[in-house]
Amino acid sequence: MARIAQVEDFADTNALADWQEESSALQDIGLLLLRIFDGGLLVGHGSQKLFGMFGGFGLQGTAGWLESIGLKPGRLWATAAGAAELSGGLMALGLFHPLGEIGTISAMAMATGKMHWGKPIWATSGGPELPLTNMAISLALIFTGPGRYSLDRILDIKLPGWLIATVALGAAASVAYALNTSQAATLPNANDQGVEGTGEGGTAAG
C-alpha cells in the first residue's frame, strides 16, 4: 500500500509540474502579445512625431507646437518625446528591459499632464484614458518582466540596477521639468494630431 501511495504521489507531482509548465508558457505568450501590440503602436506614434509617418506632423511640426507652450528648444523636446515612444520597440522585442517601459511611462506622463489633465477620464472627452492605459501596461510589464519569449531571455541580457535607476531618474526629472516650465496645452484638433501622433485628431497613444 505504501508503494502504491508513493506512485500516486509521484504521479500527482508530475501532473502538477506539467500543469505549472503549461500555465507558465501560456502566460509568456500573453506577455508576448501584450508587448508586441502596445509596443508596436507606440513605435507608430513615435514615427509620426519624428518622421511624419502614418499621417503625423513630423519633427518640425511637433517642435513648433512644443515651443508654443514653452518647451524650448522645440526640436530637442520633440526628439525626446518621439524617442520615448519609439522605445516601445524595445518593449515589443523584450530587449533591454525595462528601458522601453520607462520611456513609455515618461511619454504618457507628459501627455497626461500637458494635454489631458483636468478633463473627464474618457478619451471621448479628451481625458487621459488611453495614456493611463499605456502607463498601466508598462508598469505591469516592469513587475512581470518580458517573459521567456523575449530577446533578453534569448540573449541572456540583464541590465544592471544602477543603469535602470539612472534612466528612470533622468526620465522622471525631464518630465517634472517639462511640466513645471511650460503652459497648459490648448490645441485645435489639427495641431493636436501633430503632438499626439494619431493623424485622426484622437489620442490613441496619449
Choose the weakest-confidence range: 16-20, 24-28, 198-202: 198-202
The tally of CA atoms less than 13 A away on the side-chain side of residue 142 is 18
Q: Is the pLDDT of residue 166 over 70?
A: yes
What integer pLDDT is reported at residue 50 of this predicted model? 95
Q: Is residue 166 part of a domain?
A: yes
- Other Cβ atoms less than 10 A from the Cβ of 185: the count is 19
Q: Report d(CA 67, CA 80) in Å as an integer.
A: 14
CA distance 42 to 29: 20
Q: Which of the two residues, 42 and 184, has the higher pLDDT score?
A: 42
In what helix (H) or strand (E) does residue 33 lie, and over which residues does it extend? helix 2-51
- pLDDT value of residue 156: 97
Number of domains present in the structure of the chain: 1
How far is the C-alpha of 176 from the C-alpha of 202, rounded, in Å? Answer: 25
Q: Cα separations (Å) of 133 from 33, 98, 99, 123?
A: 16, 17, 18, 11
In this prediction, residues 169-179 reach a mean pLDDT of 93
pLDDT at 105 over 80: yes
Question: What pLDDT is stored for residue 68 in this prediction?
Answer: 86
pLDDT value, residue 71: 82
Q: Are 87 and 168 contacting, i.e. CB atoms less than 8 angstroms apart?
A: no
Q: Which of 112-116, 136-140, 180-184 has the highest mean pLDDT?
A: 136-140
pLDDT > 60? residue 4: no
Mean pLDDT value of segment 79-108: 97
Query: Model confidence at 72, in pLDDT bands (50, 70, 90)?
Result: confident
71, part of any domain: yes
pLDDT value, residue 62:
93
Residue showing cell 511624419:
52
The single residue listed with the C-alpha cell 499621417 is 55
| Residue 108, domain extent | 39-196
Q: What is the pLDDT of residue 70?
A: 78
3-class secondary structure, 118 = coil
> How many CB atoms sit inside 10 A of residue 136's CB?
12
Say whether pLDDT at 11 is over 90: no
Asked whether residue 6 is assigned to any structural domain, the reply reads no
* Residue 28: inside a domain: no
Report the percent of the chain where pLDDT is more than 70: 77
Which has the higher per-residue pLDDT, 170 or 182?
170
In a domain, 78, yes or no: yes
In angstroms, the CA 33 to CA 90 distance is 14
Q: In angstroms, rounded to a whole number, what is the distance separating the alpha carbons of residues 93 and 40?
A: 9
Instruction: For residue 113, tell me if it sits in a domain.
Output: yes
* pLDDT surpasses 60 at 190: no
Amino acid at the residue 76: L
pTM of the predicted model over 0.85? no
Rounded Cα distance between 167 and 33, Å, is: 26
Does any domain span residue 150?
yes
For residues 178 and 31, which has the higher predicted lDDT (pLDDT)? Answer: 31
| Residue 24 lies inside a defined structural domain of this protein | no
